[in-house]
């Protein structure tokens, strides 16, 4: 497979870069001054594209790669991949579900604990803090990651409720068909759903106000799930108790107004950034590419 051209859209963990380079003819897009400079020289060589949550692939890029056969994203989310175009060109798309679930849930709980218990306060003034144990937890999107957050919250003695497209009665958790009702009945609201046109700004002013001045919002989904200007205003005005964010609406930019807030903790989209998980994600990307080029069934197809 050494002659097969594979294009990576942005830097990822060194493990996947090294393992891909051992097996394929790897092109790193960020080593070129622009996509058009790359495409002029190598567009016809590319048969596979490896994207990530940070840099996906749009319709124009797909159109520029006439021999593209497969897109494999080093992420579970595929909101930044033009699925419509891939479907039209009959290009399969794969992602990396399951292997990252625990890490993202761990980061979600870590954000909640560090915010509530002021683990890393910006100033050293001592004060009493609220506790996480026993708080009413709401989860937006009871999928793989949402479920893993729920299990962890149960360990803290927190009653769990959720909002998803469909009710999952087997979980025993309380289901709300409207997110606003979930927010009104939650003290800590975790966002872990898929990003789509329906879920863009699913956390809007109404949801923030329903959560209220003692409520905590934790977002480990995607930045655009939250109306960020509304969040900033609510945090500044004290209409929301606090927020823990791993993702931002216009990454890597973070609104200036967020930076000095005491009722906010942030991590730079590191939900999956443990060594073990980066290796597992890399292995899954490679397994999917090898399966495709050997004519075998894909391990984790999206399309
Ligand atoms: P998943 O198992 O597919 O779960 C997605 C959940 O979103 C499901 O519960 C689904 O509800 C819900 N959902 C979809 N559309 C909805 C809508 N319109 N309204 C309400 N709920 C809706 O995916 P996952 O593996 O848990 O990953 C979830 C997301 O986490 C990813 O898409 C990604 O954006 C994000 N993520 C972030 C990081 C990070 O580093 N921060 C890392 C990995 C993933 P139903 O079950 O009812 O369909």
| Residue range 90-120, pLDDT digits in tens | 999 999 999 999 999 999 999 999 999 988 7
Residues 155 and 210 in one domain: yes
Let me know if residue 300 belongs to a domain.
Answer: no
Q: What's the pLDDT at 299?
A: 98
Helix (H) / strand (E) element for 160: namely strand 160-163
Let me know if residue 87 belongs to a domain.
Answer: yes
Q: What's the pLDDT at 167?
A: 98
Q: Structurally, how many domains does the chain consist of? A: 2
Ligand 1 mutation target, pool 53, 54, 56, 76, most atoms within 8 A of CB: 76
Residue 239 designated active-site: no
- CA dist 147 and 9 (Å) reads 31
Residues 49 and 93 in one domain: yes
Beta strands at 188-191 and 174-175: parallel, antiparallel or unpaired: unpaired
- Give pLDDT tens digits for 17-36: 999 999 999 999 999 999 99
Order of strands across the sheet that contains 93-94: 25-28, 5-8, 46-52, 70-74, 93-94
In this prediction, the residues of the chain whose per-residue pLDDT falls under 50 are none
Residues 240 and 180 in one domain: yes
Residue nearest to atom 12 of ligand 1 (CA): 141
| DSSP per-residue letters across 61-76 | HHHH-TT--EEEEESS
Residue 170 designated active-site: no
Residues 230 and 161 in one domain: yes
| Residue range of the domain that includes 223 | 101-266
SS3 content of the chain, % helix, strand, coil (to 5): 40, 15, 45
Is 269 a pocket residue for ligand 1 (Cβ < 6 Å)? yes
Let me know if residue 63 belongs to a domain.
Answer: yes
Q: What's the pLDDT at 254?
A: 94
Is 244 a pocket residue for ligand 1 (Cβ < 6 Å)? no
Residue 237: how many CB atoms within 10 A of its CB?
A: 9
Residues 285 and 243 in one domain: no
Beta strands at 5-8 and 46-52: parallel, antiparallel or unpaired: parallel
Let me know if residue 299 belongs to a domain.
Answer: no
Let me know if residue 141 belongs to a domain.
Answer: yes
Is 97 a pocket residue for ligand 1 (Cβ < 6 Å)? yes
d(CA 141, ligand 1 centre) in Å: 5
Q: Kindly name the residue from 152, 222, 225, 292 that is annotated as catalytic.
A: 222
Name the token pair of 112.
């909640």
- CA dist 76 and 5 (Å) reads 23
Let me know if residue 301 belongs to a domain.
Answer: no
Tell me the CATH number at 142: 3.40.50.720
Residues 140 and 217 in one domain: yes
Q: Which atom of ligand 1 is nearest to the CA of 199?
A: 18
Residues 156 and 242 in one domain: yes
Let me know if residue 303 belongs to a domain.
Answer: no
d(CA 64, ligand 1 centre) in Å: 30
Residues 123 and 239 in one domain: yes
Residue 276 designated active-site: no
- CA dist 62 and 21 (Å) reads 22
Is 139 a pocket residue for ligand 1 (Cβ < 6 Å)? no
Residues 124 and 85 in one domain: no
Residues 42 and 176 in one domain: no
Residues 218 and 281 in one domain: no
Q: What's the pLDDT at 205?
A: 98
Residues 91 and 106 in one domain: no
Q: What's the pLDDT at 128?
A: 80
Let me know if residue 197 belongs to a domain.
Answer: yes
């Amino acid at each position: 497979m050494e002659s097969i051209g594979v294009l990576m859209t942005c830097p990822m963990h060194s493990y996947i870069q090294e393992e891909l380079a051992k097996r394929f003819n790897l092109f790193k897009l960020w080593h070129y001054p622009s996509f058009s400079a790359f495409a002029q020289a190598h567009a016809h060589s590319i048969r596979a594209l490896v994207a990530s949550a940070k840099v996906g692939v749009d319709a124009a890029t797909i159109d520029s790669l006439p021999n593209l056969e497969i897109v494999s994203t080093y992420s579970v989310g595929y909101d930044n991949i033009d699925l419509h175009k891939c479907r039209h060109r009959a290009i399969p798309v794969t992602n990396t579900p399951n292997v990252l679930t625990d890490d993202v849930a761990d980061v979600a709980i870590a954000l909640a604990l560090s915010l509530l218990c002021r683990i890393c306060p910006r100033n050293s003034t001592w004060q009493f803090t609220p506790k996480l144990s026993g708080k009413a937890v709401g989860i937006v999107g009871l999928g793989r990651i949402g479920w893993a957050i729920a299990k962890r919250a149960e360990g803290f003695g927190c009653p769990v409720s959720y909002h998803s497209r469909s009710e999952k009665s087997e979980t025993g958790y309380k289901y709300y068909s409207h997110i606003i009702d979930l927010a009104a009945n939650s003290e800590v609201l975790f966002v872990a759903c898929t990003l789509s046109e329906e879920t863009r700004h699913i956390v809007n002013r109404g949801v923030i106000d329903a959560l209220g001045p003692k409520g905590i919002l934790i977002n480990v989904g995607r930045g655009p799930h939250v109306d960020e200007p509304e969040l900033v205003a609510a945090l500044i005005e004290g209409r929301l108790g606090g927020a823990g964010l791993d993702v931002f609406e216009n990454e890597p930019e973070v609104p200036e107004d967020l930076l000095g807030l005491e009722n906010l903790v942030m991590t730079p989209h590191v939900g999956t950034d443990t060594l073990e998980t980066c290796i597992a994600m890399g292995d899954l990307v490679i397994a999917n590419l090898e399966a495709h080029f050997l004519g075998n069934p894909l391990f984790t197809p999206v399309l």
